[in-house]
Amino acid sequence: MSTNQAPATPVSHAPARRCADIKPFQVMAILAEAQALQAQGQDIIHLEVGEPDFPTPQPMIDAAITAMNAGKTGYTPALGLPQLRQKLADYYFDRFGVRISPKRIVLAPGASGALLLLTAARLNPGQQILLADPGYPCNRHFARVFEGRGQLLPCNAAQKFQLTAADVRQHWSADTKVALVASPANPTGTVLSLDELSALATAVREQQGELWVDEIYQGLNYTSAPQTVLSVADDAVVLNSFSKFFGMTGWRLGWAVVPEAWVPDLDTLAQNLFLAPPTPAQYAALAAFEPETMAILEQRRAELAERRDYLMQALPPLGFAVPVAPDGAFYIYADASRFTSDSLSFCSQVLREIGVAITPGVDFGEHEAGSHVRFAFTTRLERLQEAVARLAAWLNNRADGTR
């Protein structure tokens, strides 16, 4: 070997820069710690993760098993089974009176998969998505993966923690491409009325932008009938999922409703990124809209409403203020400023000392995040009552200076 040969360039083991900009989802760390404590024998009450304690309805499980036994285990088309896309189109007409072509419905591995496709297809490097703060954290991270940016706008209780048409007009910039809202929302459970959605759609059109509406908690409404933005804005994009109302969290199946002109690009991206959504999940979902299944789901919604009502009357006397009642989803976003300005440490302490797992506000943005926590009413009423009793005793001990 020649002694004059230049030394090899050292191999870099550094991760891609985007990894440093994507924060971990703290609720998953809390869940992991809660599960570790549980494995050690501690009784943990799980109010942290957005996953109710109901299993997938049996008719949907049976439909998947029947399909698998019939050998239906191969790939489907990249955008999903045509018959399921048609079922969804029928659902929009039957439940909401909205006519949409099944060609506009894009199935994906979860609503997250659908959002991944949308950000890949619609967002150029440097472009922005307007988002409410507080809001679901992963939405802004999808933008970062594709070299875009999630622009968080502080939203207060007076505006239901939601973006408004005035926010859109005030904060839209040359780099803004999309306004993304959620109704019902995570972590707050607040719902946008059709009038509010219509006003948002008008404001976004004025900016020649795109309105995307996360409706994954649609169906989990407690004070009014479920609605869809498509009733007032046919050009809006809808994100939805079989995870929440339909009880299919682990099956990983969601969908988007998009302008038909976008579908070829989304099809190409889906082929490259996923090949296809999970096949057994799609056959299970075909049974989601049957009367037997819908009756089960409505019974569960009523049980969630009972849990919500209990926490809404039980938490304020403990000192957790709830400035806006959650009209949907299965969360209560509570002001814990009486107890802490460091919600992450507070939630860790609550978990370790009394075995109640709740989620810190820092998971959902920056605006007043240190003084808020989220309670998920995803476990049975008796366990919620036990959690409240533990919190009451623990908070009293803190107030007495014994802790």
- Would residue 365 be called left, alpha or beta, if left means φ above 0 and alpha means ψ between -120 and 50 degrees? left
Q: How far is CA 378 from the centre of its chain?
A: 14
The residue ranges of DSSP E strands in 247-349, in sequence order, are 254-257, 331-335
Q: How many CB atoms lie within 10 A of CB 362?
A: 20
CB 71 within 8 A of CB 275: no
> Bridge partners of 133?
154
Strand, helix or coil for residue 36: helix
Between CA 335 and CA 175 the distance in angstroms is: 34
Residue type, 21: D
Between CA 375 and CA 252 the distance in angstroms is: 24
Strand order in the sheet with 331-335: 331-335, 372-376, 359-360
Average pLDDT, whole number, for the chain?
95
Q: How many CA atoms lie within 13 A of 179 on its CB side?
A: 29
Contacts (Cβ under 8 Å, ≥6 apart) of 230 = 92, 96, 98, 100, 236, 238, 257
Q: What's the CA angle centered on 137, arms 345 and 379, to 5 degrees?
A: 65
CB 243 within 8 A of CB 110: yes
Question: What is residue 397's DSSP assignment?
Answer: H
CB 273 within 8 A of CB 108: no
Q: Where are the alpha helices (DSSP H) in 217-262?
A: none
Helix axes 110-122, 263-273, angle to 10 degrees: 120
Q: How many CA atoms lie within 13 A of 45 on its CB side?
A: 24
Label residue 337 exposed, middle or buried (CB < 10 Å: 0-12, 13-18, 19+). Answer: middle
- What pLDDT was estimated at residue 401? 61
Contacts (Cβ under 8 Å, ≥6 apart) of 205 = 235
Beta strands 372-376 and 359-360: pairing type?
antiparallel
Per-residue pLDDT of the chain (403 residues; tens, 9 = 90+): 455 666 666 666 889 989 888 877 778 888 889 999 999 999 999 999 889 999 999 999 999 999 999 999 999 999 999 999 999 999 999 999 999 999 999 999 999 999 999 999 999 999 999 999 999 988 999 999 999 999 999 999 999 999 999 999 999 999 999 999 999 999 999 999 999 999 999 999 999 999 999 999 999 999 999 999 999 999 999 999 999 999 999 999 999 999 999 999 999 999 999 999 999 999 999 999 999 999 999 999 999 999 999 999 999 999 999 999 999 999 999 999 999 999 999 999 999 999 999 999 999 999 999 999 999 999 999 999 999 999 999 999 987 765 5
Between CA 136 and CA 243 the distance in angstroms is: 15
Between CA 4 and CA 1 the distance in angstroms is: 9
